[in-house]
Amino acid sequence: MKPAAAPVPTDPAGLAAWSAVAGRLTGSTMGDVLRWGAGDAINFAGGFPDERLFPVEAVRTATDTVLTRHGNKVLQYGSAAGEPWVREAVTEHLLRRGVTTDAGSILLTSGGQQAIDLVTRLYVDPGDTVVTTSPTYFAALELFEAAGARVSTVRLDERGIDPEELDRALRQPRAKLLYLVTDHQNPMGVNIPSGQRPLIAEMLRRHACHLIEDDVFADIRFVRPAAPIQPFAPERVSYVTSFSKALSPGMRAGVLVAPKDVLQKAASLRENVDVCPNTLTQSVVGELLGSGVFHRLLPPLCAAYLERRDAMLDALTRHLEGRAHWTEASGGFFTWVTLGTPTDPERLLQSAVREGVVFLSGSRFRRGGGAELPELRLTFARLEPREIEEGIGRLGQCVKALMEKDDGARVAEAPVRGRK
């Protein structure tokens, strides 16, 4: 007698196995950015540092040093928080930035994104509210949504945020987490003014809310930034930074500074995810910091990115003046462009791709609207000035052609007056 045949499943393959988190995943903007970055187009989309500026020889020398000095230990599993001597070196670096910390308040992470993810998972249950600015970093938005959070936004512009609007947002039920990119904001390149920072700290206490302060561009600066929010309310802030922008994103060297209870839970959580930071990478970072090499690398690096920022501003003036306005980044990698007429940025992107140029539409950085005119995020970091000039020239021609086409269509659709 033959065994009975197994029942044929009637549901789509895998559907019954999906978790709520998996069901909320529909792709990511980061995937688009990485894919475009592999092509030959003039790429204003990806927020990548320029690999031609990576300190290869300094990293090689530091790697040799730590392998000689620490031997096999740097190839073994390590502490979930990071090796104590590396955290001491990171502490000295962060104290220069104005962060209130010590080695016991630091967790070394696999990039800044992991730090944001750890804190989000410690605070956010499905249905909770995360308050942030509009616009803000797309990967943080997608992370919050994957966690099942409701994202509530307050407006951000060159003047910062409206404290009263932020206060109202933090009064919402289940508003447990605030996320801010304090300096050289991704995507706008602007800073939260120094005068607003103690006010934000006071709101955190009043509303019993926790802040993720994202400061991953702290080292790429063209002017001296104000002190972070963290020193004004260290018990209410998880401060996130990274060495990805100044050293190498491939090293995945991030930092979380947080209250002791947050740090302990974050360390326990990360032990279940990736056990510990990359012990070799963190040791190389510690050596670069402790030897002073890292801080000697920063001035020429910032000068190179400043030259590119200025090339971007000059090119925008030549090719888009009168058709758009834009921000002047005080650091970081980004300029935020707002077009002067209601032109569909996705149509503009399709036109630009045909001309060998890519960018990110501002809608990727917003939730719930908030933009009256079409917006673009342009990055200048990975391009030489001549490439920036060429790319903005092509983009300017696309903008001009699309605006003229839209203007013509509006004229054609307008009712004819004076006839009976």
Our CA angle for 141, 195, 131, nearest 5°, is 20
pLDDT value of residue 372: 77
Judged by DSSP in three states, 83 sits in: coil
The first and second tokens of residue 75, run together, are 């190839």
3-state DSSP percent of the chain in helix, strand and coil, to 5: 50, 15, 35
pLDDT value of residue 416: 47
Do the Cβ atoms of 335 and 329 come closer than 8 Å? Answer: yes
pLDDT value of residue 417: 46
User: Which residues of the chain fall short of a pLDDT of 70?
Assistant: 1-16, 25-39, 406-420
Residue of 181, 183, 180 lying closest to 222 (CA atoms): 183
Do the Cβ atoms of 104 and 79 come closer than 8 Å? Answer: no
Do the Cβ atoms of 332 and 366 come closer than 8 Å? Answer: no
Residue 219 one-letter amino acid: D
How far, in whole angstroms, is CA 102 from its chain's centroid? 25
Residues in the chain: 420
Judged by DSSP in three states, 220 sits in: coil
CATH topology for the 80-291 domain: Aspartate Aminotransferase; domain 2 (3.40.640)
Pairwise CA distance, residues 280 & 91, whole Å: 19
| 215 burial type by CB count under 10 A (0-12 exposed, 13-18 middle, 19+ buried) | buried
How far, in whole angstroms, is CA 29 from its chain's centroid? 12
Residue of 109, 131, 138 lying closest to 257 (CA atoms): 109
Q: Which CATH superfamily is domain 22-53+296-409 in?
A: Aspartate Aminotransferase, domain 1 (3.90.1150.10)
Pairing of strands 324-326, 334-339: antiparallel
Pairwise CA distance, residues 284 & 281, whole Å: 5
- Cβ neighbours for 418, distance < 8 A, ≥ 6 positions apart: none
pLDDT value of residue 21: 74
User: Domain extents for the chain?
Assistant: 22-53+296-409, 80-291
For the chain, give the longest Cα–Cα distance: 92
Q: Provide DSSP, 120-162.
A: HHHHPPTT-EEEEEES--HHHHHHHHHTTPEEEEEEEETTEE-
pLDDT value of residue 32: 63
Pairing of strands 210-214, 237-242: parallel
**Given the structure tokens 């307008």, which residue do they identify?**
414
pLDDT value of residue 296: 97
- Cβ neighbours for 22, distance < 8 A, ≥ 6 positions apart: none
Q: Note the helical H segments in 98-251.
A: 111-123, 138-146, 163-170, 197-206
The first and second tokens of residue 229, run together, are 């929010």
Pairwise CA distance, residues 229 & 194, whole Å: 9
pLDDT value of residue 41: 87
The first and second tokens of residue 44, run together, are 């204003």
Backbone angles phi, psi at 370, to 5 degrees: 110, -10
CA distances from 82 to 56, 104, 404 (A): 23, 10, 57
